[in-house]
Amino acid sequence: MISRVKLRIMQKLLLISFLLAITGCSDKSNPESLVVYTSRQPQLIEPLFEQYTKETGIKIVLLSGDAQQLLERINSEGETTAADLFITVDAGVLWQAAEKGILAQVDSELLDRRIPNYLRDPDNQWFGLSKRLRTIVVNDIGLIESPETYEDLSSEKWKNRLCLRTSQKVYNQSLIASLISNIGEDQAIKVVRGWVNNLSTKVFSSDTLALKAVQAGQCDATIVNSYYLGRLLVDDEGTNLNLVWANQGSTGVHVNISGGGLVRYSKKSEAAINLLEWLTSEWAQEKYAYLNLEYPVVQGTKIHPILESWGSFKEDDLNAKLLGALQRDAVLLARKTNYD
């Protein structure tokens, strides 16, 4: 028969063992906080992280800034970095992060199942979280014939009728990279040179400025990320603008991504992967894309009514990794063609 003293000692030992088990589990898979380095605008991602904290109790510490500066920071910090996840807004930047050895390979059946192959790194070092479609927008007033492809905008009929954002911005570098992959460098040079010859004015610093030039009749067409037009429409502007899904008879419209990956130096990798997986959940996907009028990567997710009004379309299923791998070639091509 066990004495009361021995029983109390055994109970205390069991309690201590239980508390230690909980503490050990908490340290490994349920830390008090995770640190995310991101170049995505804070207002587009903070609401999601606030919800994640409500659901899990894990606080998300956000460090926002320029993508290249964040990459260099992680690189210089090395094993001392606080970063657990890196989230950014272009496949080319994600490719750079992988090339620099900043990201770790992630083994996740959930991410593999939810995210299509062409929207993630073949080695699973980064994953798309939303789709950013770069396509043609025209001024409908008095327009007899709309362009159907990126290549159409290089033809002489569009002389002095085209506006473009600068090639120094990564979105256009990724678009040119896709052209190089899809039609070859020689043809891509002809297309981009044709764009330059057809410009009605100097290149713009932003997609919004290019859209407003088309809206004002300064030019008849431009190439932008679709959500920029969506933003104007939400504000009841740009009603004379019409979106054209490019290259529907061939490669499909150009697809870029925002996305993220696990920082290889993370001390909380299991919890960080859990957060990455949560960002592909139904609620998170809808919210993540909805806030910026982007398209979710997970099929069947509800989209913004403005996106619904644009209808269905064929996507270019070129693997997003190539947008980074060919980025240097794209920059050189832009220089060759005097695309500023």
Instruction: List the domains of the chain with CATH numbers.
Output: 32-131+256-302 (3.40.190.10), 132-254+313-336 (3.40.190.10)
The predicted pLDDT at position 257 comes to: 98
As a whole number, mean pLDDT of residues 269-296 equals 98
The pLDDT > 90 percentage for the chain reads 89
Which of these ranges, 11-15, 158-162, 314-318, has the smallest mean pLDDT? 11-15
The predicted pLDDT at position 236 comes to: 94
The predicted pLDDT at position 30 comes to: 53
3-state secondary structure of 175: helix
Q: How confident is the model at residue 17 (pLDDT cuts 50, 70, 90)?
A: very low
DSSP 8-state class, residue 293? T
**pTM score, two decimals?**
0.89
The b-or-e profile of 113-134 (16+ CB within 10 A means b, else e) is ebbbebbbbeebbbbbbbbbbb
* Joined tokens for residue 1: 């028969």
The predicted pLDDT at position 313 comes to: 98
Closest CA to 126 of 94, 153, 152, 150: 94
Number of H helices, E strands in the chain: 14, 9
Kind of pairing between the strands at 127-139 and 295-296: antiparallel
The predicted pLDDT at position 243 comes to: 97
Mean pLDDT of the chain: 92
| Residue bearing tokens 């502007």 | 237
DSSP 8-state class, residue 315? B
pLDDT at 162 > cutoff 90: yes
Kind of pairing between the strands at 85-88 and 33-38: parallel
Question: In Å, what is the CA distance from 198 to each residue of 139, 164, 284, 333?
Answer: 16, 10, 42, 17
As a whole number, mean pLDDT of residues 239-257 equals 97
Task: Read off the pLDDT of residues 36-68 as tens digits, 9 standing for 90 and up.
Answer: 999 999 999 999 999 999 999 999 999 999 999
The predicted pLDDT at position 143 comes to: 84
pLDDT at 15 > cutoff 70: no
pLDDT at 175 > cutoff 70: yes
Question: In Å, what is the CA distance from 57 to each residue of 43, 52, 102, 145?
Answer: 21, 8, 27, 55
Which of these ranges, 28-42, 79-93, 292-306, has the smallest mean pLDDT? 28-42
